[in-house]
């Protein structure tokens, strides 16, 4: 008698079932992921989010069939993945382009590897390069391209294989803040307009806002051993706006899940005053680190004494920390928030992104950033800002603008050029 198997879900592309992957054996054995299950349906954009070392790349390799699970199964369209999965392609953080080949040749190589006849290769490569927005750069060499453009060539090359399942391993984390944001927008546009030959996307990231911005579902992972903690749906329409309350609410939920804590009180950056607290962000960074080092809670007056700082000097830093959502004050104690903890745990690059994402929601910073972005050459006279600020804050305008510039520079968003007296966008 045939044993009835549960009817396969026809829309399901990928099913990872109770997968464990260990490296090595004996006492040196390392469990990279344990008992992980997840599935992806056609049309879905799923993010795998978690700290470094929680097994995200390991999972992608299993999905792509580049390695086998120690236990459990990986099914692709219902069939076990036992060799390299021809339907899934991985785009890595820094895509290895051949430096001696042009952009066009780099893409053609992928088509050749896929067995596309020479006659069709060139036209298809040109079309792919056009799709990712690099038309005009066909004959450029990788070294002539910015990081963002090189990553686009990586996307074009991955597309050449026409993967049903596109796996992205931290595709934006090697880029500067602005290039990353631009490239996220472009990828989303291609995906949402169905301009890609791709049915689903599985993206690995450790950037929470990126996950909320792009995906339909976020699979949150933790490490030691790598495992799935929870899955969070992102039921927001595109285009998504980081400053929207609903967006923020999901970001906070995800932070709480990542940090394993309860949801913090709603943060109201946009409602904060039109004045920046008189604090340098590197001082705030130091404070957050210190607080994390003390287990997340410290007595304010003692902190002030320890740091040899008048409370009056410390409080603006605390205020900046509250504005960014990194700390909060309770009964004379300073507490670190899950967001602050995430900051303290993050790499330098992630920290910059985190701060940039937060301060862009402070009205004054946002206004300066938007103004610069809308300008033709991304440079605007300092006096332009000063004049408008005077209407808001009177004779504090100069000090406020200097503070804003120092914040912008800290997050590598914008800076001041003393030779021309202009503010300009960092690239
Ligand atoms: P992530 O991508 O989330 O940073 P990885 O999947 O790269 O995590 O790694 C998960 C764990 O498995 C880490 O502890 C890492 O050191 C270990 N690991 C990854 N690949 C190997 C390997 N080939 N041999 C031994 N250990 C590995
Ligand atoms: Mg990785």
Q: Which residues surround ligand 2, an ion (CB under 5 A)?
A: 57
**Model pLDDT, residue 69:** 97
Tell how far the Cα of 134 is from the centroid of ligand 2, in angstroms.
27
Residues 213, 250: one domain?
Answer: yes
In a domain, 341, yes or no: yes
Q: 333 lies in a domain? A: yes
Q: Is residue 214 part of a domain?
A: yes
pLDDT tens-digit series, residues 332-360:
788 999 889 989 988 888 888 889 989 98
Give the pTM. Answer: 0.62
Regarding the beta carbon of 52 and ligand 1, being less than 6 Å apart is answered yes
- Of 154-168, 297-311, 327-341, the range with the lowest mean pLDDT is 297-311
Decide: 338 in ligand 1 pocket, CB within 6 A.
no
Angle at 424 between CA 422 and CA 425, to 5 degrees: 170
93 Cα to the center of ligand 2, angstroms = 9
Structural domain total, the chain: 3
Same domain for 238 and 284, yes or no, is no
Residue 148 domain-assigned (yes or no) = no
| DSSP state string for 380-409 | EEHHHHHHHHHHHHGGGHHHHHHHHHHHHH
Residue 274 pLDDT = 66
Q: Residue 70 pLDDT more than 90?
A: yes
Task: Say whether both 277 and 249 belong to one domain.
Answer: no
Task: Answer whether residue 101 is part of any domain.
Answer: no
Cα distances from 289 to residues 294, 324, 330, 334, 351, in angstroms, run 9, 15, 19, 13, 12
Q: For residue 55, give the ligand nearest its CA.
A: 1
- Which of residues 236, 258, 280 is at a domain's end? 258
84-123 residue pLDDT tens = 998 998 887 766 788 899 999 999 998 888 788 888 899 9
290 and 322 belong to one structural domain: yes
Are 245 and 295 contained in the same domain? no
Confidence of residue 408 (pLDDT cuts 50, 70, 90): very high
Pairing mode, if any, of strands 79-80 and 88-91? unpaired
Q: Is 226 in the pocket of ligand 1 (CB under 6 A)?
A: yes
Interaxial angle between packed helices 338-345 and 245-259, expressed in degrees from 0 to 180 and rounded to the nearest 10: 60
Q: Is the pLDDT of residue 262 over 50?
A: no
Domain contains 177: no
What is the token pair recorded at 409?
A: 């520079």
Q: What is the domain-level CATH number for residue 207? A: 3.40.50.300
- Residue whose CA is at the smallest distance from ligand 1 atom 12: 32
60 domain residue, yes or no: yes
Of 258, 275, 292, the one marking the end of a domain is: 258
Phi, psi of 210 (to 5 degrees): -60, -40
Model confidence band, residue 264 (pLDDT cutoffs 50, 70, 90): very low
Does the C-beta of 65 come closer than 6 Å to ligand 1? no
Q: Are residues 81 and 230 in the same domain?
A: yes
Residues 205 and 62 in one domain: yes
* pLDDT for res 8: 66
Residue that finishes a domain, picked among 310, 345, 380:
345
Distance between CA 389 and CA 102 in Å, rounded?
A: 48
- Confidence bin at 285 (pLDDT 50/70/90): very high
Please, what is the average pLDDT of the chain?
Answer: 87
Which atom of ligand 1 is nearest to 55's Cα?
6
Q: Is the CB of 23 under 6 A from ligand 1?
A: yes
The size of the chain, in residues, is 427
In the structure, what pLDDT confidence band is assigned to residue 63 with cuts at 50, 70 and 90?
very high
Q: Which domain holds residue 61?
A: 12-87+199-258
């Amino acid at each position: 008698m045939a044993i009835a198997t549960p009817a396969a879900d026809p829309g399901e592309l990928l099913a990872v079932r109770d997968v464990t992957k260990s490296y090595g054996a004996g006492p040196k054995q390392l469990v990279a992921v344990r008992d992980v299950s997840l599935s992806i349906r056609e049309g879905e954009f799923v993010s795998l989010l978690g700290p470094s070392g929680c097994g995200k790349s390991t999972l992608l390799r299993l999905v792509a069939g580049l390695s086998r699970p120690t236990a459990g199964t990986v099914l692709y369209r219902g069939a076990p993945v036992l060799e390299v999965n021809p339907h899934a392609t991985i785009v890595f953080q820094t895509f290895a382009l051949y430096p001696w080949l042009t952009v066009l040749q780099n893409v053609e190589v992928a088509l050749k590897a896929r067995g596309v006849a020479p006659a069709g290769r060139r036209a298809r490569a040109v079309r792919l390069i056009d799709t990712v927005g690099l038309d005009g750069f066909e004959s450029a060499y990788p070294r002539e391209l910015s990081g963002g453009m090189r990553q686009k060539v990586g996307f074009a090359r991955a597309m050449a294989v026409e993967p049903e399942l596109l796996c992205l391993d931290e595709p934006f984390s090697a880029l500067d803040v602005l290039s990353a944001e631009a490239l996220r927008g472009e990828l989303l546009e291609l995906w949402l307009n169905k301009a890609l030959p791709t049915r689903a996307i599985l993206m690995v990231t450790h950037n929470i806002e990126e996950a909320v911005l792009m995906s339909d579902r976020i699979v949150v992972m933790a490490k030691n051993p790598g495992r799935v903690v929870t899955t969070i749906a992102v039921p927001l329409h595109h285009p998504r706006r980081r400053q929207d309350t609903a967006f923020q609410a999901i970001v906070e939920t995800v932070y709480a899940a990542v940090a394993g804590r309860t949801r913090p009180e709603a943060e109201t950056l946009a409602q904060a005053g039109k004045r920046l607290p008189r604090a340098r962000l590197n001082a705030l960074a130091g404070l957050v680190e210190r607080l994390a080092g003390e287990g997340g809670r410290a007595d304010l007056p003692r902190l002030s004494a320890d740091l040899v700082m008048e409370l009056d000097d410390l409080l603006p830093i605390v205020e900046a920390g509250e504005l960014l959502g990194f700390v909060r004050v309770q009964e004379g104690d300073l507490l670190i928030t899950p967001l602050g903890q995430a900051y303290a745990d993050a790499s330098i690059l992630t920290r910059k992104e985190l701060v940039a994402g937060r301060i862009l929601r402070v009205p004054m910073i946002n206004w300066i950033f938007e103004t610069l972005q809308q300008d033709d050459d991304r440079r605007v006279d300092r006096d332009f800002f000063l004049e408008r600020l005077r209407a808001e804050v009177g004779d504090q305008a100069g000090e406020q603008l200097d503070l804003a510039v120092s914040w912008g520079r800290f997050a590598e968003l914008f800076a001041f050029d003393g030779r021309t007296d202009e503010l300009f966008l960092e690239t």
